[in-house]
Chain A
Amino acid sequence: MDSECVSILPRVCEVLAASGSSLPDDTSLEKLLDWLTTITQTGVSLLEACPCLLDFLSNVALNAAPGPGILSFTLKLAGLIGGSEDGFKALEECSVLELVFAPHHWQESGLWEDPSLRIGWIQGLKAILQHSKALGFFVQADLLEPLLQLQTDSSLFVASAANQTLAHVLLLCQSLSSVGRDGTNKRDVEHNGVGVETNQNCSGVVSKVSEYLNESLVPRETSRLPHSQQILKLLSQLLVQVRPPLRETLLRAVLDSLEELATKSCSQLTLPLVDVLLAANSSLGDTDRIPKQRIGKLLSLVLDTKKPTDVVQAAAALMRSRQTDPDHSAHAARVLLLPLDIVTGVSLVDKDSTDEELRILMTEQLQSKTCVSMICMCLTNMPQITVMAPDRLPCPQSLVVRAVLSLLRLCRGDCSSSSAGCVGVFRYVTGSSKVQKCAMEALSALSKSPEVKIGLAEVFKLLTEYLNCPLSEPSVLQKSYKVLINWIDVCTDLSCISDQLREDLTQAVRKRACDTRWEARDSTVEFLGHLAEVRSCRTSGGEEREPSNALLGGRAFAVPLLKEALQDPESYVRASSIAALAQTLTPSWQQGAPVTQEQVEIVTRLQEILSQDSEGFARRAVVKYFIAWFSSCSSPTSCPLLVQHVPAVLSQGAADLDWEVKLHTLELAELLLDRAFPDPAPPHPYAVTPEGLIHGEDEESALLGSLNGVVDRGVVSALFCGLVDCDRPVALKACQLLLRLRAAVCPPTASAADTGVSCKLPGRSWAQEIRKIQGTNTDSEGGSAVGSEARGEAVEESSVGVREALRSLDLDEKLSILTQSSDHVYNSPLSLLQDILTASTAHSHPTSEPGQEVIVDCY
């Protein structure tokens, strides 16, 4: 702990105890508490380190003069200190404990009305309840009663905090009881009397809380519904965390109430009730005395509810939990597929296996506006349905695919394949982009089903229609492309795709590349990029081909479109087209194919974008393009076009105004460094080291050759430029890379004065900065010739020895500075304490220096 902080803290405590109104900002006390909590977590005793805190607590507790904010802080601090047994003892001895945690003390002074004080009380209580003594105090002082009352507090925040604390109390009881039962090494157990008392306390608390939960679960009036919801949430949270026997105790206490709730089927409670049942179901084992079947029965009861919205919600929750037994999953799947069955007329759910009444009610419900949300809920659970075992599904997955396709057709206004019984639903789903998007997601999930091949042509046809449709929203188009990629990705055989379909798709993609909405154009170029990455498949001729070739004519189709998109007025589209070009050309780069005139044109255009484009997205994409190109080439040096353009990219990228462009430029530089100075393979323990290899002359000349290479390509300049960049991530990355370079080219044994490779420093500001740092460091080491430049004299382009520079830049110190966050000084505890003091001074002498504003750090 910082000694300066310790020395200031007493004054801060005085200020806080005197008045809380002069705090620099609302969060000061929270930050102070966070700092003190951090100290506690390191194992330091707060009272030993800062004895003034005890005085502060006593002062404030006895004199409730400061505002509720300070009081709330005091209560939380008391909890923090009392959380350790020693601290607890100290608080007990100076009678602070009973005073601060006695609600009537605050009620009498009228301060209990303030929610912040109640929050402080609850959180303080939660913090202190860490050991058996605290539990003893909790029971003796009868604090459970006020805690239970706070569960229904008018302030939602207070009620929620009280809720959490009640759960904490139970979990403490569980841990203390288990300690006693297991007979492990705790002091409570050694002292038999204390152990018995703790157990009694625990069982007393558990029994009271269980009783409370049971009574509060079933709402007797509508106004109590939110409270019941809260109790259900608490219960589900507890059931996940508690172990036997507490779990059984709790469940036994509430089971009847849960049954009553399940029978009542109250809409607002359906979801939390399902959560409780699922938590109970997953936690109960075969050995538990409460039969799992009873919980299962309750789950079935909820799934048999006759309220369509409730039952769909329950089924969705059940499906999402992924932990129910197969019967319940099958039941939930039937419920979730029923709306699709009704709307599309595709027989997904056998009429005999569903309740006729539910079918009728759901058909009615689907005629109303709520049908959209209900259908969407069913569709969003499709991923869970697709992974279910086929024998648990009410129908083959191919039928589900058909139903989703049929729904998508309905959304386009095509009713030809729909059910005649649900006419009202068309009004709401036709043109609904929400349903379309959910259905697209569902279709995407269904692509993973093993039966996908069945509907491939049909899916392609529909997606092409969507891509062609002028009414499709850009977000729907984007999803359509995504689904198309997913289906192509899993498909090994595209022979079922007819020429006409291929032609339609080509036209659609070509048209969307000219769309008036940039989002549509963006999705289109992205699609072309993704398509180029899809692995090869079989075509109708039986040959293996890349899907982009088989469907759209490959690069000959995509590259002209993408080249055109490089001129797009929207920067996102330009960026996406650059990325897509990289994806499209990657295979040819990997194969080392000769560079075409088309590629030369592209690179020229990319250079233009990097140097002239006003938007960062496009420039970032250009650098990433070169990264992709460089990474894909097995031998970049054999690609003259790449080698020719890399220095320009590094130079322009390093001088960019956008920090991400600069960072990507450094990543490109890193790749060049990797190639030039590959990590030596870890030596085999028994390998024979060739003589003269280590630090031999050959190696030195090879090293110099590599260094020369990276200098010539502008890597070192880019790194130097990055090192003095005002953006910390850039400087950090550059520093790390320079350190790597130093490790590679400056062996510790070599002399500091060796010369060899030098790098030109331009007359630009960054080079001046480098000279300045270099000058300062060499000055401190005994003077340097570059000192004059550092003093601001006329700067011209000059050279610097790379090795010398790497040694003299003090990169290690720079790294340690850069690793710290840029606001570490302003966020330090010392700064916080000083701010509190300064604010208090300003508050106590508001007119002492008129006209001089006190500027406080803003967090």
Chain B
Amino acid sequence: MSSNSSPPPSCWTVDWTPPLSSISCLFLWCTGEIVLSIYLWGILWSALVILLCFYSLCRISPRLSKLPGWISKDGTVNLEKELKECAGRVFVDSQPEFCLPERELLDLSTIDVILISNYHCMMALPYITEHTGFTGTVYATEPTLQIGRLLMEELVNFMERVPKAQSATCWKNKEIQRMLPGPLKDAVDVWTWKRCYSMQEVNSALSKVQLVGYSQKVELFGAVQVSPLSSGYSLGSSNWIIQSHHEKVSYVSGSSLLTTHPQPMDQSSLKNSDVLILTGLTQMPTANPDGMLGEFCSNLAMTIRAGGNVLVPCYSSGVIYDLLECLYQFIDNANLGTTPFYFISPVANSSLEFSQIFAEWLCHNKQTKVYLPEPPFPHAELIQTNKLKHYPSIHGDFSSEFRQPCVVFTGHPSLRFGDVVHFMELWGKSGLNTVIFTEPDFSYLDALAPYQPLAMKCVYCPIDTRLNFHQVSKFLKEVQPLHVVCPEQYTQPPLTQSHRSDLMLELQPPPMPYRRCAVLNLPFRRCYERVYILPELANSLVPSEVKPGITVATVSAVLHSKDNKHTLQSVPKPPPAAPSKKRKRVIEEPPATLAPKPLLSGAVPLEAFLATLQKHGITEVKVEETGEGHILHLQAEDTLIQLEEDGTHIVCDNNEPLRTTLRDLVLRFLQKL
């Protein structure tokens, strides 16, 4: 086959960015000349960074604003205006800042595509799409986009509520930071931390999102197809398949096999993957979500029965739907029928309503309700019966209708901004009240630190429905990828619990671990490329059967490659030479279409060949067996014939007639195409 195609495709690489629990990575799909970068979206920011700040708290709480500023023991460093000391810990008095995903290793302007897994992990999208030169496309499902927008809107709203203040920057000075107590001392890349984006930036970022549906195949520059699959974690959450005609890579991130509100995880489509990149496992492998939900309910009931209030710092979408559904069933059981439930968030109304309209993205049970027709989520009934009331903020209607004891769901779960701060101040002094943490993203002890001393009871029930190690093992047995790539942390027990062999991935063959900023060569090479033949060219082919069932034909064509699609086209015939006296330029001359030489195939059988040689008077032949075939030494003629699997050589010095004879003898045994 003649071809003018590019060199064989090169390798896959995976590289990894961000922090802590981090799940993002970059793919480079190289097809010779074209490199396609696909950014698989990861976590939003480091939780730690938020927890170090408590600017908004100081503005809300007079108690906190009176806290002493921090001065080093020897008095040499005075950061009274920037750092506050509370219950033995030091906090930055500044507007919250966010640590962004890794940017040093990547030139974000070269990214072609960003694939978003779920709305929880797209919170840093404006930082990527704005002000970095990013010109690519972002793919996400509709619920991911809409709920992601709500979460960003809520965040911006929270930030805008507190008065602007000057940034605290002095402490970031390397010399000063070194002298600070931990964890401020240990914070890295502090200069890269950013303030929250604006709503304008959010809108701009989200305008770059292209919507996709589950199992929809999106062609990326002809190089690969990407397709989202339900991951079962949240509304519209996706795992991604990235495949070419011959290779398949699955990106599994933030998936759940539990029966909650989203559509169940699509496992079968992940089968037959060459590589499965596994990330976004549960952050709470020892906390069973069912047990936590039970714990949540019993603590809530216990507090209400004792006459106390319950505060649930949470995001305005996600687990809250399950919490409300669980409470819907539990309220009557626990005789809590008259207790009011308040959901306070600037996007509370939208969140509750959005959840009801994304029927096609819900689990089967909820989908069937839509046809009855009934609202898929029971919180509609709670709202209708006035058991659940939602408000955009604590101001306005809420303050007139507020009645205790009650249960309040509000954000932000970090306890650094949002309406939750007011409730912490309001209820923190009474031992009758309880704060129940359900979001796994933040350490509850760190979150509570600025509120100490606290009389309020604190309960930690992190509900993380993502896959645990046991579930992952079963899942991988089911889908059987050839290779698994996962963060290094998954391949060993937690540092503090080195005995817990149940808290790690044990696979055969072992998974390929990756660590921050590592570059991996994935264990497969692209060997084949699909080429299309145009019908008229195909018609001209003359196939001949070389073996039963195997037919070959020679083809002379022009290989046309565009957008990673390769097509064989007929060689254009030269136009009849117009009589012209003008001398044509060489480059304008059509390529000479010479008749191709016949192609030979087959093997030379040794015995028969020796017999033929003998017939032609060559009798003194010494046969030597080599690894690849045989060497025949024609002793009288001092000539060598090398018969090998993929070639035949006649070494004959200065005897062209003999060489020709021998060549013809060899050709007798081969087929011509």
Q: Which A positions have Cβ atoms within 8 angstroms of B?
A: 413, 415, 418, 420, 423-424, 426-427, 430, 470-471, 510-517, 564, 567-570
Contacts and interface: CB of A to CB of B under 8 A. Distances in A.
B268 interface: no
A564 to B, nearest CB: 7
Contact of B305 (A418, A420, A564, A569): A564
Contact of B298 (A423, A426, A515, A568): A515
Contacts of B650: none
| Best-buried of B299, B300, B330, B501 by chain A (most CB within 10 Å) | B501
B118 to A, nearest CB: 25
A514 B293 CA distance: 13
A413 B503 CA distance: 10
B499 A470 contact: no
A517 B302 CA distance: 14
B333 A516 contact: yes
Contacts of B461: 470
B500 A426 contact: yes
A423 B302 contact: no
A513 B301 CA distance: 9
Contact of A470 (B295, B326, B332, B333): B295
A430 B291 contact: no
Interface SS of chain A: helix, strand, loop or mixed?
loop
A515 B301 CA distance: 9
A470 B497 contact: no
A514 B500 contact: no
B619 interface: no
B292 A470 contact: yes
Contact of A514 (B305, B332, B499): B305
A550 B302 CA distance: 22
Contacts of B292: 470
Contact of B291 (A427, A471, A568, A569): A471
A427 B461 CA distance: 23
A345 to B, nearest CB: 11
Nearest to B333: A569
Given A415-B499, A510-B302, A517 B332 contact: no
B497 A415 contact: yes
A503 to B, nearest CB: 12
Contacts of B499: 415, 418, 420, 423, 426
A470 B288 contact: yes
B302 A514 contact: yes
A427 B501 contact: yes
10 contacts: A413-B500, A423-B501, A426-B501, A426-B502, A471-B286, A513-B302, A514-B300, A514-B305, A516-B298, A516-B333
Interface of B: 286-288, 291-295, 297-302, 305, 326, 330, 332-335, 461, 497, 499-502
Contacts of A418: 499
A413 B497 contact: yes
Given A470-B288, A470-B461, A517-B294, 20 more contacts: A413-B497, A418-B499, A426-B499, A426-B500, A430-B500, A470-B287, A470-B291, A470-B294, A471-B286, A471-B287, A514-B300, A514-B302, A514-B305, A515-B297, A516-B333, A564-B305, A564-B335, A568-B333, A569-B333, A570-B333
A515 B294 CA distance: 7
Contacts of A514: 297-302, 305, 334
Nearest to A427: B502
Contacts of B332: 569
Given A470-B288, A569-B332, A516 B500 contact: no
Q: Which 10 A-B pairs have the closest CB atoms?
A: A415-B499, A514-B301, A470-B295, A470-B291, A514-B298, A427-B502, A516-B294, A471-B291, A514-B302, A516-B297
Nearest to A567: B335
Contacts of A517: 294
A471 B288 contact: yes
B166 to A, nearest CB: 44
A515 B326 CA distance: 13
Contacts of A515: 294, 297-298
A570 B335 CA distance: 12
A430 B469 CA distance: 13
A128 to B, nearest CB: 60
B294 A413 contact: no
B293 A511 contact: no
Nearest to B504: A427
B298 A511 contact: yes
Nearest to B457: A507
A515 B297 CA distance: 7
Nearest to A425: B501
A470 B291 CA distance: 5
A511 B501 contact: no
B431 to A, nearest CB: 12
B82 to A, nearest CB: 39
Contacts of B334: 514
Contact of B286 (A413, A564, A568): A413
A516 B299 contact: no
Contacts of B305: 514, 564
A204 to B, nearest CB: 63
Contacts of A430: 500, 502
B470 to A, nearest CB: 9
Contacts of B497: 413, 415
A63 B275 CA distance: 77
A418 B330 CA distance: 39
A570 B502 CA distance: 36
B338 to A, nearest CB: 13
Contacts of B301: 514
Nearest to A428: B502
Nearest to B294: A516
A510 B295 CA distance: 12
Nearest to A569: B333
Residue among A470, A513, A569 with most chain B CB within 10 A:
A470
A485 to B, nearest CB: 21
Contacts of B330: 516
Interface centre among B287, B292, B301, B461 (most CB of A within 10 A): B301
Contacts of B500: 413, 415, 426, 430
Nearest to B285: A413
A430 B292 CA distance: 17
A569 B501 CA distance: 41
B541 to A, nearest CB: 60
Nearest to B286: A413
A470 B293 CA distance: 9
Nearest to B459: A511
B327 to A, nearest CB: 10
Nearest to A473: B291
A471 to B, nearest CB: 4
A539 B438 CA distance: 39
Nearest to B293: A516
A511 B305 CA distance: 11
A424 B501 contact: yes
B301 to A, nearest CB: 4
Contacts of A413: 286, 497, 500
B209 to A, nearest CB: 38
Contacts of B293: 516
Contacts of A516: 293-294, 297-298, 326, 330, 333
A567 B298 CA distance: 16
Nearest to B301: A514
**Which of A471, A513, A567 has its CB near the most chain B CB atoms (within 10 A)?**
A471
Given A426-B502, A470-B291, A511 B302 contact: yes
A516 B499 CA distance: 32
A427 B294 CA distance: 25
| Max chain B C-beta neighbours (<10 A), residue from A515, A567, A568 | A515
Instruction: Indicate the member of A415, A423, A516 with the most B CB atoms within 10 Å.
Output: A516
Contacts of A568: 333
Contacts of A426: 499-502
Nearest to B469: A427
Nearest to B304: A514
A415 B301 CA distance: 33
A512 B501 contact: no
A430 B298 CA distance: 24
